[in-house]
Amino acid sequence: MSFMSPAVRFQNVSRRFGSVRAVDNVSLDIEPGEFFALLGPSGSGKTTCLRLIAGFEQPDEGHIEIFGETADGVPPYRRNVNTVFQDYALFPHMTVGENVAYGLMIKGVGKAEREAKAKSALAMVKLAGYESRRTAQLSGGQRQRVALARALVNGPKVLLLDEPLGALDLKLREQMQEELKSLQTSLGITFVFVTHDQGEALSMANRVAIFNEGKIVQVGTPSDVYERPTSRFVADFVGSSNVLPPEFAAAHGGHAAWTSLRPEKIQIASQNALVPAACAHAKGIVTAISYQGAVTRITVATEKLALIASTPAGTDVRKGDSVSLIWPKSAMVAMGEGA
């Protein structure tokens, strides 16, 4: 039997700050080579989990293993794990090259060798020739790349990224998402990153753990958590969703359970439109229209509750129109509980 220990294993890990349980009985396996996202609102415990892996925090209860070795009581400087900090934490008294070579210098790697390695690490993040710059001269995106090179040059087994793209503007963020993905694929290192941006998590990660109030509420592939949320929290947090009460869902051909219905699954039609057999429908009146560029979000008040439909831009629906909402019954995903 071939057995490979997970890159990171949390076993019933808790971490308290005063009376607050920042991380509450979390168990989690992150497989080697995964691009794993810790997703959740601020204060949900995702960053504390990252800091537990890095060793900046120690668990109050439970155990953490990194590639099968216990991390209990192991200080950050003896872990083969490197971090890209949210605000990069580049050392202002060192040049870019010295920053990148810092970890190697600490390990006692000779000057010529570490300079060569720093140089190729900088080339990898497309900053060749920046060795002698001062960090204050760099833009946000460039600092991000330096921080990445500084972590990767040490050849970590796990790379931790704390809101790595949070400080970048939209265009740069999309570009860095692509680069991080291809970097991760080519290096094959386990990446664990923290984000509160569900779009970022869905587009970059192989798997996502969704945090709420110190607990993991769902783990799965991006399509798992998006298509089949198991709780209202996940349905709401990952993308936006219409949450249907059990009675409403049952009345429209779903199960008698709290049910998620994604806005983009709902079509808007005229009131007398034919409803295909596999579809459910509800009549209502348009109460709000929000233009969002590629899509338009239309709020329709039905008899029981207001539903949001997301349609490609350019619909000619107006506020006050009487419309029919049509969606496939299969688009209704029953969730575990009402919470």
Q: Considering the complex, what minimum distance in angstroms separates the CB of residue 132 from other proteins? A: 14
275 contacts other proteins (rule: CB under 8 A): no
Give residue for tokens 């509420």.
Answer: 217
Tokens of 216: 């993991």
Q: Which stretch binds other proteins (CB under 8 A): 40-48, 73-81, 212-220, 318-326?
A: 73-81
Residue 25 token pair: 């009985």
Among the candidate windows 60-68, 71-79, 180-188, 322-330, which touches other proteins by CB under 8 A?
A: 71-79
Q: Please give the Cα distance from 327 to 89 (Å, whole number).
A: 49
**Least distance (Å) from other proteins to the CB of residue 88?**
9
Orientation angle between helical segments 140-152 and 170-187, nearest 10 degrees: 10
Q: Which stretch binds other proteins (CB under 8 A): 30-38, 149-157, 228-236, 320-328?
A: 149-157
Between 17 and 56, name the residue whose CB sits nearer to other proteins.
Answer: 56
Pairing of strands 295-302, 279-292: antiparallel
Q: Which is it for strands 61-66 and 215-220: parallel, antiparallel or unpaired?
A: unpaired
77 binds other proteins (CB under 8 A): yes
Question: Which of helix, strand or coil describes residue 301?
Answer: strand
Q: What angle do CA 211, 215, 216 make, to 5 degrees?
A: 55
Task: Single out the residue of 45, 97, 103, 222 in contact with other proteins (rule: CB under 8 A).
Answer: 103
102 is a site residue for other proteins (CB under 8 A) = yes
Member of 18, 73, 92, 314 binding other proteins (CB under 8 A): 92
Residues at the contact surface with other proteins, assessed by CB under 8 A: 54-56, 75-77, 81-83, 85, 87, 89, 91-93, 102-103, 105-107, 150-151, 154
